[in-house]
Structure 1
Amino acid sequence: MKIKNLLSISAFCLIVISCSSSTEDSADQNSSQNDTSTTTEAMYFPPSNSDMWETKSISNLGWHQDKVQDLLDYLQTKNSKSFMILQNGRIVMENYFSGHTATTPWYWASAGKTLTSTVTGIAEQEGFLNIDNKVSTYIGTGWTSEPLAKENLITCKNLLTMTSGLDDSLGDDVTPANLKYKADAGTRWAYHNVYVKLQDVVASATGQTWSQYFNAKLRDKIGMTGSWIQSGDNSVYWSTTRSMARFGLMALNNGSWNGTQIINFNYFQSATTTSQNINLAYGYLWWLNGKSSYHLPQTQFQFNGKLIPSAPDDLFCALGKNDQKIYVVPGKKLVIIRMGDAADNVNLALSDFDNVLWQKINAVIN
């Protein structure tokens, strides 16, 4: 009798152990599947013909919901009109302030330089131009007031990298009389409005207006809305926040949109890599973080350290007057947009706002 009881107890224990092991294996398998689904989640692209957009919750990402209000309060006090975070293409945060809405257009200011950089690259990949050629190849000589020998030193790449050598102290006017010699092209980095001549280069090389080519080759292909509006000596792009985010999403994917390569991969890699040895934090009209030094507009002073110390090193960004921002962080699959009025004082690109804003963002996402 005792032997039978002992056998029954042993059998029961084996069943319990077996069930427990099976449950743990199942839990481990589910955990593994969840980890896999998280790490292999496909990049999302919103439809090009619709404003529908998938979302993702902060809790699903394991971010800190309790830090969100501090971020929003800071954005509100700093004259923001809109703020958006995409993670892996999906909207995690989308906030509007002071009567601004999802359908209200706002200007990109110099953040739109990256649009010009991208479309120049598209024109090159289609065989219309070569960025290593001199600018006068496409728009003729006499586009500056420099001696011809000096003007002929200026290539399209010099305009992309802000190394034209033209005098940046004379304002935004890009008529020939205002484009004067300061140094040989390639020997001096200076933030200058002369980059807009690339739009003339593209128009001349393609035989289309700048807007026609831009709309057909970039805007319409990724579902952006918006248009170029003349403002003084500049043609400035205006769009909704979501349109700016679409462009940022294409940039996150190295110039690709939902499997279609909009801009040549190698060109885009060059555009978001140090382009010359003077300002290490500058590519082809893109700003780059994580470098050992940087220059800012309207100064020849070299600042040591990273462009935005609190931001990830792999961040590259489009920065526009009065704090228009497109931040792209490949390592975290993030695109972050900020539109609005100047956070503090009027500025051409970077301000202290960037560093503090990233401290607030880090509190949410890390």
Structure 2
Amino acid sequence: MKNLKRILLLIAVILIVAVIYNYPKLNILAGYSAKNTASSVFLANRTLEFTDNNDNDFSPINLTTDKIDTEEKSAIGSAFGLLKRKAVYRKGLGAVLITNDYDTSKKPLVPFRSKPDNITPFPYGNAEQIDTVFSNVDYKKLNETIDTIFNDRNKTRSVVVLYKDKIIAEKYDDGFTKESLQIGWSMTKSITSTMFGILRCQGKIDVQTDNLFEEWENDERKNITLHNLLQMNSGLEWTEDYNSISDVTKMLFLQKDMTKTQIDKPLIGKPNETWNYSSGTTNLLSGILRSKFNTHQEYLDFWYNALIDKIGMNSMVIETDMSGNYVGSSYAWATARDWAKLGLLYLHNGEWNGENIFDKDWVDYATTPTPTSDGWYGAQIWLNAGSRYPDVPKNMYSFNGYKGQNVFILPSEDLVVVRTGLTKNADMNTLLKGIINSIKNN
């Protein structure tokens, strides 16, 4: 009996040590599950069953369990019943992962949204586009090309192809339609960058501005410029690893104010000489944007009235953190068609239906390769200058996100291609090559 008690005590001690050791992991697992569930169910209007069987059905997130409260519009993620996290939905702001001291009774500020134009045809409105058939497009070949990435391996959810401002192909996976909201993940970074492009066009910022934070005044970080942050070439320490407890997972699932996460990081390289992909940097930029406005309401409204609603991306919602700041690195949701509108705006060098949202100089700047990025990266925009996609023109650039969210802009082909999904397995080089080859006389 004594031996049995000792064995049970030893097992209990091992379990306690294991829980303590793995607590941060459990915290992030439960946090991801709760946040993703709340967004999927209450923002994207999917069912809990669909969310668990699809969006949360990957290791190790599939080890968690989720519950929702439809009256409160909240979700709770549980990691083996040992640790629970809660996320709540706020209309106009999306879902947010909260801590125990978050006051859910306090009504947050929400952005003012303009009324959607459901009369003007796509792309300048939300009504169906005027039918156009291009004689130089091989529609059979085009659709066969798109069909190749819709399967269980690729888990593609949508593809939209725009040629000369018209949708020439559009396909959705089962359970998705043109009305379905889809998370852009890091495609959101390109929206954050675009906000700086708009301010630059308005003469309100200089990207060469340095000495950006009080915390950096007395060390070499004072030399970091806005330009360096936009190009993710600041030299600041950051680890972007979604498969471990890293800077990015701690920021997204533990921090109340994500705009401050990287401020305290030291320099481990030299500005303009040390490219390092960092979601923390993008949220620093979101915080800098906040500092450009006198009130928080002005900051919230600016993203919509200067860009999102301005070009009719009326489905889009950018979620905020607990402090009310836009999570500019990761949390924009929109339909595939609205994601395509952002690509079309860039294809037209910032001009939208006769109005300049930003200018061509910004597009040139944003698509200039960052030093030490091997031609892969500009100002929060991915590039093909280094021939990452060998069968696609080098002047192509794209907004890219986790698990294979993409908006490709091909200026020389007059094309915008949107692909959303759950994996990065799809061969996008072959897809883009096939789309280009389906259009004759280029």
TM-score band, normalised by shorter chain: 0.7 to 0.9
Q: Is the 8 A contact 1:64 1:363 kept in 2?
A: no
Q: 1:354 to 1:91 in 2, by over 3 A?
A: same
Q: Distance in 1 between matches of 2:344 and 2:338?
A: 10
Q: Distance in 1 between matches of 2:211 and 2:156?
A: 38
Q: 1:125 to 1:62 in 2, by over 3 A?
A: closer
Letter in 2 for 1:216: N
Q: Counterpart in 2 of 1:141?
A: 214
Q: Distance in 2 between matches of 1:175 and 1:200?
A: 10
Q: Counterpart in 2 of 1:75?
A: 150
Q: Is the 8 A contact 1:248 1:328 kept in 2?
A: yes
Q: 1:135 to 1:215 in 2, by over 3 A?
A: farther
Q: Counterpart in 2 of 1:354?
A: 428
Alpha-carbon distance, 1:200 to partner: 1.3
Alpha-carbon distance, 1:206 to partner: 2.7
TM-score, reference length from structure 2: 0.61
Q: Which of 206, 214, 237 is the equivalent residue of 2:293? A: 206
Question: Quick check: 1:85 aligned with 2:155?
Answer: no
Q: 1:45 to 1:269 in 2, by over 3 A?
A: farther
Alpha-carbon distance, 1:280 to partner: 2.2
Q: Which of 329, 332, 341 is the equivalent residue of 2:413? A: 332
Alpha-carbon distance, 1:49 to partner: 4.5
Q: Is the 8 A contact 1:45 1:89 kept in 2?
A: no
Q: Share of identical aligned residues, percent?
A: 24
Question: Quick check: 1:258 aligned with 2:353?
Answer: yes
Question: Quick check: 1:281 aligned with 2:371?
Answer: no
- Show CA shifts across 1:67-118 (max 9, x none): 5224313233411111000001011011111211111101111112111111
Aligned to 2:398, the other structure's residue is in SS state strand
Q: Is the 8 A contact 1:315 1:327 kept in 2?
A: yes
Q: Which runs of 5+ in 2 are unaligned?
A: 1-119, 240-245, 252-259
Q: Which runs of 5+ in 1 are unaligned?
A: 1-43, 294-305, 345-351
Q: Which of 170, 173, 181 is the equivalent residue of 1:97? A: 173
Aligned to 2:180, the other structure's residue is in SS state coil
Alignment of 1:1-366 (within 5 A): 46=122, 48-57=124-133, 60-63=135-138, 65-66=140-141, 68-77=143-152, 78-134=154-210, 136=212, 140-142=213-215, 148-169=218-239, 170-172=246-248, 173=251, 174-176=260-262, 179-193=265-279, 194-209=281-296, 210-225=299-314, 226-230=316-320, 235-276=330-371, 278-289=373-384, 291=385, 293=386, 306-344=387-425, 353-365=427-439
Letter in 2 for 1:188: T
- Show CA shifts across 1:147-184 (max 9, x none): 83222111111111110101122522352576232112
Q: 1:231 to 1:321 in 2, by over 3 A?
A: farther
Q: Distance in 2 between matches of 1:195 and 1:79?
A: 28
Q: Is the 8 A contact 1:84 1:336 kept in 2?
A: yes
Q: Is the 8 A contact 1:123 1:206 kept in 2?
A: no
Q: 1:359 to 1:147 in 2, by over 3 A?
A: same
More helix by share: 1
- Show CA shifts across 1:268-327 (max 9, x none): 2111222435432321111121x3x4xxxxxxxxxxxx1111212221111111110111
Q: Distance in 2 between matches of 1:237 and 1:48?
A: 20
Q: Distance in 1 between matches of 2:337 and 2:163?
A: 14
Q: 1:135 to 1:203 in 2, by over 3 A?
A: farther
Question: Higher relative CO (CA 8 A, sep ≥ 6), structure 1 or 2?
Answer: 1
Alpha-carbon distance, 1:191 to partner: 0.5
The structure with more radius of gyration: 1
Q: 1:52 to 1:135 in 2, by over 3 A?
A: farther
Aligned to 1:86, the other structure's residue is in SS state strand
Letter in 2 for 1:200: G
Q: Which moved more, 1:241-250 or 1:231-240?
A: 231-240
Q: Distance in 2 between matches of 1:45 and 1:197?
A: 37
Q: Is the 8 A contact 2:186 2:400 kept in 1?
A: yes
Q: Distance in 2 between matches of 1:176 and 1:116?
A: 16
Alpha-carbon distance, 1:47 to partner: 5.8
- CA RMSD across the alignment: 2.5
Alpha-carbon distance, 1:336 to partner: 0.5
Q: Distance in 1 between matches of 2:363 and 2:295?
A: 23
Alpha-carbon distance, 1:55 to partner: 4.1
TM-score, reference length from structure 1: 0.73
Q: 1:182 to 1:264 in 2, by over 3 A?
A: same
Q: Is the 8 A contact 1:211 1:228 kept in 2?
A: no
Aligned to 1:242, the other structure's residue is in SS state helix
